[in-house]
Amino acid sequence: MKSFRKELWFNVPSRRAFINITPQVEECLRESGVKEGIILVNAMHITASVFINDNERGLFHDFEVWLEKLAPHEPVTQYRHNSGEENADAHLKRSIMGREVVVAVTSGRLDFGPWEQVFYGEFDGGRKKRVLVKIIGE
């Protein structure tokens, strides 16, 4: 069994953003040399997310509005977590969007449907944060 590990680093200037990381994940897969197996891509921080969806600008606006409705940032005093920091909403938003994805690797490629792309979801930016890519297989 082969295994491969790499960290992807981000420093998002805004509080929230969605970034398409499919090219970086594909590059990791090429580096790994794994042809058959699985790839795990996860946020290493608990106020960020890795998820798979459509690469469409309008949709990301919709996600932003929707997440802010389900788990609003303001008023920050509504959350007990917000003593010293004010990112409780980011923990909740990340719970909806998910921490990780597991993707099949087949014939050396991400075994994706026609529109699947991997995204990093930042919900508490303004600092350096990481995504872990782990690949196991042969």
Binding site for its own copies (CB under 8 A): 1, 3, 5, 36-38, 40, 42-46, 51-54, 56-59, 61-63, 66, 70-71, 79-83, 88, 91-92, 94-104, 106, 111-116, 130, 132, 134, 136-138
Nearer to its own copies, 11 or 102 (CB): 102
Residue recorded with tokens 């106020």 = 47
**Closest distance between its own copies and the C-beta of residue 125, in Å?**
15
Question: Got the DSSP string for 37-75?
Answer: EEEEEEESSTTEEEEEE---HHHHHHHHHHHHHHS---S
Nearer to its own copies, 14 or 83 (CB): 83
**Closest distance between its own copies and the C-beta of residue 25, in Å?**
14
Query: Could you give the CA distance from residue 118 to residue 14 in angstroms, rounded to a whole number?
Result: 20
**Closest distance between its own copies and the C-beta of residue 23, in Å?**
18
**Closest distance between its own copies and the C-beta of residue 137, in Å?**
7
Nearer to its own copies, 27 or 76 (CB): 76
Say if residue 75 is preceded by a cis peptide, omega within 30 of 0.
yes
Task: List alpha helices for 74-137, DSSP H.
Answer: 88-97
Helix (H) or strand (E) holding 25: helix 22-32
